[in-house]
């Protein structure tokens, strides 16, 4: 029976993982530690909230004493570490929180695991520390090629630099102390419960209500999109059979230019809701705005290793995933309303209206 500490399990990917872990690992127990920042939302976890193998703890991954209590009381043998500040634009406006949570927080969690699991250099039986990271640590690609696990790190935003720093710490704990760590570097996720500061939910939210759709620069930056459930399945495979000390790249093999993504959403919504007043298609809402500073041009993942070693491949096509996602947001407008309250409006004004 795995006793799993999930960090950041009230966020977008973490909440999807918690549900899948409870469903797929029948003899596991999941303790979800989340400080509930603006990005964490317990509504995302209503389906498991009362499950006998689930417990929620509100707390910060930098709280060393709390971590010690949880490791001991719950006899934790597995960490799946999602908790992070995750939005690039926010890291540009205010990098300090990214260093605190992503670097200091990961360090604190590693120390707690080391203290709990390593006795005389011997790992607690079957312990695993999975660090969930990003393809952004590899930097920006030209028109061709894809990131492999051996691509040199070249982070360019405070967010990706903080994730790169945390990856290096995780790797150091494997090499120095023998902690059973594994790192996953994944491409852009999308799907239900993603906070509407990220491109896809932001565009859906604005396009439903006829607001302008901000596209940075020329709209030709490329991201490799992966449906969130596929990412969580990949992490479950890494937990089941990944080799400690290894890195696994995870990607959707679904490269799209941002403008194409935005146009796809516009067309899906026109079909679902009809055209805007005056028979205007939603593509007419597209507005090119000032580019993100240091905006990485293209990301693409080579996921050969995880496919070959662990038998994982994405199951959802971009087209089906986008249909599901748009439908989910249409059916859960109260969720979006709840998370786009006062603080979100201030953020949106600073990020778009004032630039
Ligand atoms: P998110 O912003 O939706 O959720 C982050 C969660 O962490 C929130 O619930 C928040 O409350 C919690 N949290 C933040 N600081 C904390 C702290 N100090 N202590 C405890 N909890 C804290 O993020 P996401 O998009 O779900 O991303 C999850 C992880 O996956 C991150 O590590 C991110 O770097 C990585 N990742 C994300 C993507 C993506 O496309 N979203 C792709 C690859 C990797
Ligand atoms: O690649 C993985 C990363 O993907 C994760 O590590 C990050 O946590 C996650 O936020 C995401 O980062 P991006 O910066 O790629 O995602 P975002 O949704 O912010 O932007 C996607 C692309 O769309 C990017 O090229 C910037 C552009 N964009 C974004 C927003 C919010 C716009 O053109 N307009 C927008 O309003």
| Structural domain span for residue 97 | 3-191+226-253
Residue 129 lies in a domain: yes
Q: How far apart are CA 234 and CA 228, in angstroms?
A: 10
Q: Which atom of ligand 2 is nearest to the CA of 216?
A: 33
Residue 301 lies in a domain: no
Measured by CA distance, the residue closest to atom 37 of ligand 1 is: 134
Confidence of residue 350 (pLDDT cuts 50, 70, 90): confident
Q: Which two tokens mark 26?
A: 């029948």
Flag whether pLDDT at 306 surpasses 80: yes
The answer to whether the CB of 151 is under 6 A from ligand 1 is no
pLDDT in tens, 48-70: 999 999 999 999 999 999 999 99
Confidence of residue 97 (pLDDT cuts 50, 70, 90): very high
pLDDT in tens, 110-121: 999 999 999 877
Residue 145 lies in a domain: yes
Q: How far apart are CA 156 and CA 248, in angstroms?
A: 21
Residue 281 lies in a domain: no
Residue 275 lies in a domain: no
Q: What does the CA dihedral 275, 278, 283, 286 come to, rounded to 10 degrees?
A: -130
Residue 220 lies in a domain: no
**According to the model, what pLDDT value does residue 239 have?**
98
**According to the model, what pLDDT value does residue 124 have?**
78
Residues marked active site are found at 135-136, 159
* Overall domain count for the chain: 1
Residue 128 lies in a domain: yes
Residue 340 lies in a domain: no
- CATH label of the domain that carries residue 148: 3.40.50.720
């Amino acid at each position: 029976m795995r006793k799993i500490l999930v960090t950041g399990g009230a966020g977008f990917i973490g909440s999807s993982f918690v549900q899948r872990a409870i469903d797929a690992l029948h003899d596991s127990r999941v303790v979800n530690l989340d400080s509930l920042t603006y990005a964490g939302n317990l509504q995302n976890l209503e389906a498991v909230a009362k499950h006998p193998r689930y417990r929620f703890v509100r707390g910060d991954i930098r709280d060393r004493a709390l971590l010690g209590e949880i490791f001991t009381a719950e006899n934790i043998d597995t960490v799946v570490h999602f908790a992070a500040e995750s939005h690039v634009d926010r890291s540009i406006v205010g990098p300090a929180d990214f260093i605190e949570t992503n670097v200091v927080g990961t360090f604190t969690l590693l120390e707690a695991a080391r203290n709990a699991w390593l006795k005389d250099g011997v790992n607690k039986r079957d312990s695993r520390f999975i660090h969930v990271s990003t393809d952004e640590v590899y930097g920006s690609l030209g028109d061709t090629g894809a990131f492999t696990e051996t691509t040199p790190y070249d982070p360019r935003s405070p967010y990706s630099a903080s994730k790169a720093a945390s990856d290096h710490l995780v790797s150091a704990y494997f090499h120095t102390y023998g902690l059973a760590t594994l790192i996953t570097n994944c491409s852009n996720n999308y799907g239900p419960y993603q906070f509407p500061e990220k491109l896809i939910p932001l565009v859906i939210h604005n396009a439903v209500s006829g607001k302008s759709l901000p596209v940075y620069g020329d709209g030709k930056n490329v991201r490799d999109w992966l449906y969130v459930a596929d990412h969580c399945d990949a992490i479950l495979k890494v937990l089941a059979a990944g080799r400690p000390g290894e890195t696994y790249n995870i990607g959707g093999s679904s490269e799209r230019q941002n403008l194409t993504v935005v146009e796809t959403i516009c067309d899906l919504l026109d079909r679902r809701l009809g055209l805007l007043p005056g028979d205007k298609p939603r593509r007419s809402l597209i507005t090119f705005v000032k580019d993100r500073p240091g905006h990485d041009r293209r990301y693409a993942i080579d996921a050969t290793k995880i496919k070959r070693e662990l038998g994982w491949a994405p199951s959802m096509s971009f087209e089906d995933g986008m249909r599901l996602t748009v439908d989910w947001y249409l059916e859960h407008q109260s969720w979006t309303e709840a998370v786009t309250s006062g603080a979100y409006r201030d953020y949106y004004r600073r990020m778009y209206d004032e630039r």
